[in-house]
Amino acid sequence: MTARVLLIEDNAANMELMTYLLQAFGHATLAARDGKEGLEIAQREDPDLIVCDIQLPVMNGYEVARRIKADPALRNIPLVAVTAYAMVDDRRKTLAAGFDGYLTKPIAPCAPICEPHPRYLHPRPRPRLARRARADARSS
């Protein structure tokens, strides 16, 4: 079964490489060029996985993570940071911000994000309206 992956990345070369790799493994991709657009697509499309850069225009990756994890309808979607920040403290900061995983750039053709991974890359049932209604009821 194909997973739907939202890629939030402003660098065209990185977007092209991640799109190619994910599609080569049979996954469908959605693309956003900035954090605000990525959040809007996540709310509208309900992806199985979100891969997000940290340094983004309009809304940075940390704010994207904060908003996704604050939204009851989105908070359970795995969120993986892809960033050039590669120091140990950068990894801690990224995970503390709400990301579920962390990959460093440059993206290698054998990046673990591409292969089926039980924690991140698997299709989910899409009862979006029912899930959104339950989340709204809980927050009322």
User: Can you tell me the distance from the alpha carbon of 69 to that of 85, in angstroms, rounded to the nearest whole number?
Assistant: 21
- The domain tally of the chain equals 1
CATH code: domain of residue 98 = 3.40.50.2300
Structural domain harbouring 69:
4-109+118-139
pLDDT above 90 (res 33): yes
* Residue 80, token pair as written in the block: 């993986």
Q: How far is CA 64 from CA 9, 37, 50, 106, in A?
A: 12, 10, 10, 21
Average pLDDT, rounded, for the chain: 81
- Give the Cα separation of 120 and 112 in Å (integer): 10
Confidence band of 63 (pLDDT split at 50, 70, 90): very high
Residue 40, pLDDT above cutoff 80: yes
Is a pLDDT exceeding 80 seen at residue 139? no
> What's the confidence (pLDDT) of residue 24?
85
Residue-wise pLDDT tens digits, 64-112 = 999 999 999 999 999 999 888 666 787 788 888 899 888 877 776 655 5
The CA distance from 35 to 24, in Å, is 25
**How confident is the model over 115-138, as a mean pLDDT?**
52
What is the C-alpha to C-alpha distance for residues 122 and 37, in angstroms, rounded to an integer?
A: 23
Cβ contact 3:23 at 8 Å: no
Predicted local distance difference test score (pLDDT) of residue 69: 95
